[in-house]
Amino acid sequence: IREPTVIDTDKLVMKNIYLRVDSPIYFLSEDDIDKYIIKAIKELSSSIYDKVNESTVCFHIKSVDTNPIYFQEEGLYCAMRGWLAQNYGLELASINIELDEEKGRFIFNI
């Protein structure tokens, strides 16, 4: 959302950048939001500022479509980076992801 009306539940990520998450997303904790989604936005904030001419923006997450059985919180970081890259025309370095077959989980090197 460009030039949004900021509401009291919006999280300030950085100057002029907010995050709005519709509730409830039952498997998404506040810690996950801070650790993965906000981290991705912060890391790309200077590129975002350049693209929006430093105007105020609010990223609004209405839902997360995934199978909770296979959900890994770290994937939120990659998903947010990918979404930002796609929507703002950003070039990103690859993230190394490995499968730990013993644990049945992916290892995200972030």
Residue type for 7, please?
I
**Confidence grade of residue 27 (pLDDT, cut at 50, 70, 90):** confident
Across the chain, what does the average pLDDT equal? Answer: 91
* Mean pLDDT of the 52-58 span: 91
* Mean pLDDT of the 19-28 span: 83
Both tokens of residue 46? Answer: 């200077």
* Mean pLDDT of the 18-22 span: 93
Share of the chain above pLDDT 90, in %: 70
Which residues, including other chains, have CB under 8 Å from residue 28's CB and lie 6 or more apart? Answer: 21, 64, 76
Can you give the pLDDT at residue 29? 86
Q: What is the pTM of this model?
A: 0.88
Q: Vertex 84, ends 79 and 89: CA angle to 5°?
A: 130
- Tell me: pLDDT of 57 over 90: yes
Measured between alpha carbons, how far is 49 from 45 in angstroms, rounded to an integer? 6
- Higher pLDDT pick, 85 / 26: 85
